[in-house]
Amino acid sequence: MSEGAPVPYPTSPRPEVLTLSPYIPGKPADEVKRELGLERVVKLASNENPLGPSPRAMQAVQEMAESLHIYPDAAGFHLKTRLSQVYGVAASQIVLGNGSDEIIMHLGQAFVRPGDEVVMGDKTFPVYKTSTLLMGGKPVEVPLKNGFLDLEAMASAVTTNTRLVFLCNPNNPTGTMTRKAEVDRFLEAIPPRVLVVSDEAYAEYVGDEEYGTLLPHLKNGKNVAVLRTFSKIYGLAGLRTGYGLVPEYAAALINRVRLSFNQNALAQRAALAALDDLEHVRKSIRMVEEGKEYLYREFAAMGLKTYPTWGNFIMVDTGKDCQAVFRALLRRGVIVRPTSAWGLHTALRITIGTPDENALLIEALKQVLQEV
């Protein structure tokens, strides 16, 4: 190599790696507190459950502490057996992940060849794009329509090169839901060789009989997959545990690409306990419903446009630079998610918190919008 030529990487990476952007995490809440000398910091940025984990899951984790020298069950037997009873699908159709985002990566690894197309919304959960780009695939990003996935346009975007379609339902960051009738029409238009993946991370919050989950279609033998997680309503984000309900052939392929112990033992045990903690789930739903009504009311009173949400978060348009609003809220101890990463400029995605946290957010936002 000639002298002075730039050598950015002593060992060159696969070119696909350079198409990815690293995830830039926010500072942890305790560090923000220390740095800014705040007494309280409220994190409403990652759609976690502010009620905490299911108490049954916490108990299960404590009881497992003395077995940490044992590898996890690579087959996830107990969790899969219980999930299979809950959903009425065969255990052989269930895959477990280190969070459901790992399963999104597995789908890419199992199905996407260089040049293959993967259809998704243009403002949606970013891991679909990461999973596609890493494998040399081409993300086909279809613009949302008024914050909703546009299923007609997504169906038209399917070509002979399409391998996967990702529906995010409810969609992150907008919170919007895709309805049953739309999903039914969509599936009729999609060739059976395309695997349609419905990421339903917020399904438990939806409570709408029009909800277009793909679960019934999976049970009818369609080539569709449903992803769910214990990170949201079950409050186990820190443990990293999610699952996919998928056609048997897809489970078999994912089992080839995943690491044997990809879901850790605590995660499996805690998930099993959380799944049956209906009291915790009910409480969480109630809190989100009440918080949603309160926030809608307050945002409307402030003259701010919100998107209708079926999740535990709301996207609100502040009409001001969302990075500036984000930083000013941070100085007041409220952490939210600006939407710049999705190419939006003035909207924030805000997790619905406890009544107390929501009130704090509204107070802070009122002050911030005066000064930004």
Ligand X SMILES: Cc1ncc(COP(=O)(O)O)c(C=O)c1O
Alpha carbon distance 361, 191 (integer Å): 46
Question: Measured from the CB of residue 58, what is the shortest distance to ligand X in angstroms?
Answer: 18
Question: Which DSSP string do the residues of 204-239 spell out, in sequence order?
Answer: HHH--TTB--SHHHHHTT-SEEEEEESSSTT--GGG
Alpha carbon distance 178, 212 (integer Å): 6
Question: Measured from the CB of residue 34, what is the shortest distance to ligand X in angstroms?
Answer: 26
Question: Measured from the CB of residue 235, what is the shortest distance to ligand X in angstroms?
Answer: 11
3 state DSSP class of 161: coil
Question: Which DSSP string do the residues of 5-19 spell out, in sequence order?
Answer: ---S-SSPPPGGGGG
Helix then strand count (H, E) for the chain reads 14, 13
Question: Measured from the CB of residue 125, what is the shortest distance to ligand X in angstroms?
Answer: 4
Q: Identify which of 29, 175, 16, 5 has the alpha carbon closest to the alpha carbon of residue 108.
A: 16
Alpha carbon distance 225, 250 (integer Å): 9
Question: Measured from the CB of residue 204, what is the shortest distance to ligand X in angstroms?
Answer: 13
Question: Measured from the CB of residue 124, what is the shortest distance to ligand X in angstroms?
Answer: 8
Q: Is 260 buried (19+), middle (13-18) or exposed (0-12) by CB count in 10 A?
A: exposed
Q: Which residues of this chain interact with ligand X, rule CB under 6 A? A: 47, 99-101, 125, 168, 172, 199, 201, 229, 231, 237, 242
For residues 227 and 364, which CB has a smaller minimum distance to ligand X in the complex?
227
3 state DSSP class of 165: strand
For residues 124 and 223, which CB has a smaller minimum distance to ligand X in the complex?
124
User: 361 and 326 in contact (C-beta within 8 Å)?
Assistant: no
Question: Measured from the CB of residue 95, what is the shortest distance to ligand X in angstroms?
Answer: 13
Question: Measured from the CB of residue 25, what is the shortest distance to ligand X in angstroms?
Answer: 13
For residues 310 and 364, which CB has a smaller minimum distance to ligand X in the complex?
310
For residues 120 and 140, which CB has a smaller minimum distance to ligand X in the complex?
120
Question: Which DSSP string do the residues of 327-356 spell out, in sequence order?
Answer: HHHHHTTEE-EESGGGT-SSEEEEE---HH
User: 72 and 167 in contact (C-beta within 8 Å)?
Assistant: no
Tell me the CA end-to-end span of the chain in Å, nearest whole number. Answer: 51
Question: Measured from the CB of residue 206, what is the shortest distance to ligand X in angstroms?
Answer: 13
For residues 142 and 368, which CB has a smaller minimum distance to ligand X in the complex?
142
Residues 6+ apart with CB under 8 A from 10: none
Comparing every residue's Cβ against ligand X, the nearest one is 99
DSSP 65: G
Question: Measured from the CB of residue 366, what is the shortest distance to ligand X in angstroms?
Answer: 27
> What residue has token string 């950015």?
8
For residues 335 and 364, which CB has a smaller minimum distance to ligand X in the complex?
335
Residue 40 exposure: Cα atoms within 13 Å on the Cβ side = 7
3 state DSSP class of 248: helix
Cross-strand bridge partners of residue 347: 317
For residues 254 and 362, which CB has a smaller minimum distance to ligand X in the complex?
254
For residues 131 and 223, which CB has a smaller minimum distance to ligand X in the complex?
131
For residues 131 and 306, which CB has a smaller minimum distance to ligand X in the complex?
131
For residues 169 and 306, which CB has a smaller minimum distance to ligand X in the complex?
169
